[in-house]
Chain A
Amino acid sequence: MVVKVFGALKSVCSQRVLACLIELGEDFEVINVDLDSDEHKQPHFLLRQPFGQVPAIEDGDFKLFESRAIIRYLATKHQERGAKLLGTTVEERALVDQWLEVEAHNFNDCVFNLALQLMILPRILGKGHQTDLAIVRTYDAKLDKVLDVYDRHLSKNRYLAGGSFTLADLSHLPATMALVEDLGRAHFITGRKNLNAWWQDISSRPAWKRVVQCSQLAS
């Protein structure tokens, strides 16, 4: 029985889970949730994910939501390949967790709010809507400071949690791609030498390229 992912190929959080599944070589099936028609807010979906968000997974009888919980679960399940993604010692694991939390709270917060102002609200509210440029400037400034820290850190570390690619790096893939491709902010990455080197490295991994390919086919 393969892992079922209830999600949308264009959703950042769904892509996080797909990237992890492909890195681990785990077979899976995507059951599309139609976000455009608000399927994720319907009663049948709320039984699966009570906050009305994608993704959620089913692994046999086991059901789980929250993409960063899902990727931890999947990596734990796959002793060998997973150990590389999660770290093998308690200390290594702690550094992976640390940067997973930085991604969730410092990085994602900025990128999400930029996407909200520049893409999501204009789409929902239509032509008459005026983008709040003050909010955009605030989050641009925050993101600038956060990425300066990343750049300094990556001048001393090949990957976020040390010398190997881990879930911490993987977790950044979808939102960084959105920042570069959809939000017109590639210069935030390319303008920082170490950050850019890291981005070129992780975004050229075959597993991530496969996720991008699938999400482009879905549009």
Chain B
Amino acid sequence: MAMPVKVHGPPFSTAVSRVLACLLEKDVQFELVNVNMAKGQHKSPDFLKMQPFGQVPAFQDGSISLFESRAICRYISEKYADQGNRNLYGNNNNPSQKAFIDQWLEAEGQSFNPATSILVFQLVFGPRMKAKQDEGAIKQNKAKLAKVLDVYDKRLANSKYLAGEEFSLADLSHLPTASYLVAGTDVKELFMERENVSRWWGEISHRESWKKVVHMQKSPPPKN
């Protein structure tokens, strides 16, 4: 049996949870190695050998070492194409479909994530660390997110999922930040008041793979 792949990072991290969701969708065995960010473990020399920017996650599959959660997700989907959800990243016989998934993955990374990651910090992680909230940043990024969700709502009026009629990496990539915002902040309203976005969110957030990730986020970290 193949060695399980390794994911280094805490499951509460949005980028780590993106990779966990992908591994679960693809039925790929993995070992989660916790990284204690409060103690600065992600800036330790050992960790920097795996991820030189000092960010989580880092990922290993045998001799290959990778970072950047969206790159890791693409790799897992290609390498383990025949396992689990086979169409998560389209299939290589349909380049247009794959390109659509990339298009919406990029939209997530370039338009959705910049606003949501600031809101997650300001409204979820910051308060936990007793950081002072920046009201201006919150207002500005809610407005940005509202515009992005308007685009999504129009798209999802004509399409079950972002890249077409099947759940893909493009939808998955939104789960980590959106989940924190919908579960625990008033940003939830921005999702719920848009009919198609609300429908789409209901479907993707109830997938078994994501429910398992949320459970991991709420459980105590594994002992290394």
Contact B102 A66 (CB under 8 A): yes
- Could you tell me which residues of chain A, from 180 to 195, have a CB within 8 Å of some CB in chain B? none
Does the CB pair A104–B109 fall under 8 Å?
Answer: yes
Interface residues of A in 91-126 (CB under 8 A from B): 91, 93-95, 97-98, 100-102, 104-106
Identify which of A68, A77, A102, A106 contacts B106 (C-beta below 8 A). A68
A-B pair number, CB within 8 angstroms: 83
- A65 adjacent to B52 (CB under 8 Å): no
Given contacts A50-B151, A51-B107, contact A101 B71 (CB under 8 A): yes
Q: Is the CB of A73 within 8 A of B95?
A: yes
* Complexed CA–CA distance, A71 and B108 (Å): 17
Would A69 and B53 be within 8 Å (CB), given that A51-B151, A90-B75 are in contact? no
Q: Give the complex CA separation of A98 and B106 in angstroms.
A: 13
Q: How far is the CA of A26 from the CA of B38 in the complex (A)?
A: 50
Max count, chain A CB within 10 A of own CB: residue among B72, B75, B96, B103: B103
Mark interface residues in B59-88 (1 if CB within 8 Å of A CB, else 0): 000001011111110110011000000000
Answer whether residue A4 sits at the interface, using C-beta atoms and an 8 A cutoff. Answer: no
CB-CB contacts of A44-64 with B at 8 A, as 1s and 0s?
000000110000000000101
**Contact across chains for A66 and B103 when beta carbons are under 8 A apart:** yes
Instruction: Pull 12 A–B residue pairs with CB atoms less than 8 Å apart, ordered by A.
Output: A64-B100, A66-B107, A69-B103, A72-B102, A73-B96, A73-B98, A94-B64, A94-B71, A94-B74, A98-B66, A98-B71, A104-B110
Tell whether, in the assembled complex, residue B110 and residue A66 are in contact, meaning their CB atoms are under 8 Å apart: yes
A104–B102 Cα distance when bound, in Å, is 13
Q: Does B211 have its Cβ within 8 Å of any Cβ on chain A?
A: no
**List of B residues within 8 angstroms of A105 by Cβ:** 68, 109
Interface residues of A (CB under 8 A from B): 50-51, 62, 64-70, 72-73, 76-77, 90-91, 93-95, 97-98, 100-102, 104-106, 146, 149, 152-153
Residues from chain B with a CB closer than 8 A to the CB of A64 are 99-100, 103
CA–CA, A67 and B53, complex, Å: 24
- B155 interfacial by beta-carbon distance below 8 Å: yes
Decide if B105 is an interface residue (CB 8 Å cutoff): yes
Q: Which residue of A lies closest to B113 (CB)?
A: A105
A146–B107 CB distance below 8 A? no
The total of chain B residues at the interface (CB under 8 A) is: 31
B53 touches A146 (CB 8 A): yes
Decide yes or no whether B205 CB sits under 8 A from chain A.
Answer: no
Judged by DSSP, the binding face of A is: helix
The answer, yes or no, to whether B212 is at the interface (CB within 8 Å) is: no
Who on chain A is nearest to B107 by CB? Answer: A66
A13, closest chain B residue (CB):
B110
User: How distant is the Cα of A50 from the Cα of B66 in the complex, in angstroms?
Assistant: 32
Q: How far is the CB of A108 from chain B (nearest CB, A)?
A: 9
Q: Are A50 and B102 in contact (CB under 8 A)?
A: no
A94–B69 alpha-carbon span in the complex (Å): 11
Query: Contact at A106–B103, with CB atoms within 8 Å?
Result: no
The CA-CA distance from A65 to B110 in the complex, in Å, is: 12
User: How distant is the Cα of A95 from the Cα of B71 in the complex, in angstroms?
Assistant: 8
Indicate whether A73 sits within 8 Å of B52 (C-beta atoms), given known contacts A50-B155, A94-B64, A105-B68.
Answer: no
Assess whether B13 is interfacial by the CB under 8 Å rule.
Answer: no
Q: Which residue of B lies closest to A97 (CB)?
A: B71
* Cβ-closest chain B residue relative to A102: B68
- What 8 additional pairs, Cβ within 8 angstroms, besides A50-B151, A106-B53? A50-B155, A51-B107, A64-B103, A69-B105, A69-B106, A94-B71, A98-B67, A101-B68
Closest 5 CB pairs of A and B: A101-B68, A66-B106, A69-B102, A97-B71, A94-B75
